[in-house]
Structure 1
Amino acid sequence: MENRSISDIIEAYLKEIFGDDTQIEIRRSEIADHFNVVPSQINYVIKTRFTIQNGYLVQSKRGGGGYIRIERVNLLADVDVLNSLVQAIGDSIRERDAFAIIETLYNEKVISRREGDLMLVALSKQTLAVDDTNMENKLRARILVSFLNRLRYES
């Protein structure tokens, strides 16, 4: 049997709630009660698993009638979303985060498997082979932003 963390289980549950919808609204405390965890665990899952890099926008409203709205977005169809993604990348990105973006592009059928594989190779530690991690992450960000801009103009 597969060992899954509570974060994996909560993520799967939230994705199941989506169904065919593009957005959901949840109450953090209700989800926390459902899984018998503290509300900060729900924050952690949302902050780490439902990011713009993974194809999601998150909005929250605090207070008594507060909610968290999670919206699944098409990364390249909406210029504002693409701009947010490029802004989230900034001038530096770790290999793991770059790979997550490419995986999302593939899962959303924006790129083919072959294109994704080529992008992964181009952004890998082995290809960049820079002894300075900071410089490597900056170079990776510039290449990834260039890929995204090229995809924007082709679609």
Structure 2
Amino acid sequence: MENKNMSDIIEDYLKELLQNEDIIEIKRAEIANQFNCVPSQINYVINTRFTVPKGYRVESKRGGGGYIRIVKVKLIKYKTRICEEIPDMISNGLTDSDAFAILNELQDNDIITVREKYLLNSAFKLTGISRSEEEKLLRANMMIDVLERLTYEEQE
């Protein structure tokens, strides 16, 4: 049997909710109580596993009536723009792991092939050190160019 840590279990639970709905709203404290963990663990899961490169948009409202809203961003193959949010979100830089997450989303939505995903991933690795701000910016610009070219091809 597979050993899963609490973060994996919470992620699986939230993704299961997202299978039935396009948008879910949760209360951090309620989920923490449900899984008998601290609320900061819910934050960790949301901040690391429900990111734009992984195909999610997260909104939150603080306070007593506050919530966390998770939206599954669907990439649609035949739109003029493959994803309007990704270029804006990555314009300040992109790590190689986030680049691979975006490529996974593109492949999962049949926008690129598995082969194309791995070829592009090799190009995005650059020096293999994603800590450099210049490298992150270069990678972001490359991804934006790829997304624009994919959009251009769809219009032809």
TM-score bracket for the superposition, by shorter chain length: 0.7 to 0.9
Structure 2, unmatched stretches of 5+, are none
CA contact (8 A) 1:92 1:138 kept: yes
> Which residue identity is paired with 2:35?
F
Q: 1:62 to 1:45 in 2, by over 3 A?
A: same
Q: Which is worse superposed, 34-43 or 132-141?
A: 132-141
* Structure 2 SS opposite 1:110: coil
Q: 1:64 to 1:129 in 2, by over 3 A?
A: closer
> Which residue identity is paired with 1:117?
Y
Residue by residue, what CA displacement relative to the aligned partner does 1:23-72 show, whole Å, maximum 9, x if unpaired?
11111111101110111111111111111111111111222222211111
Alignment match, 1:146: 145
Alignment match, 1:107: 108
* CA distance in 2 between partners of 1:78 and 1:34 (Å): 42
Q: 1:40 to 1:113 in 2, by over 3 A?
A: same
Alignment match, 1:5: 5
CA contact (8 A) 2:80 2:151 kept: no
TM superposition score normalised by structure 1: 0.84
* Structure 2 SS opposite 1:64: coil
Q: Mapping of 1:2-81 within 5 angstroms?
A: 2-75=2-75, 77=79, 79=81
* CA distance in 1 between partners of 2:44 and 2:12 (Å): 14
Q: 1:41 to 1:78 in 2, by over 3 A?
A: farther
* Structure 1 SS opposite 2:83: helix
Alignment match, 2:135: 136
Structure 1, unmatched stretches of 5+, are none
The alignment of Structure 1 onto Structure 2 pairs a total of residues equal to 151
Deviation at 1:147, TM superposition (A): 0.4
* CA distance in 2 between partners of 1:121 and 1:148 (Å): 16
Residue by residue, what CA displacement relative to the aligned partner does 1:75-120 show, whole Å, maximum 9, x if unpaired?
45485x8342112212432211111111121122222212212211
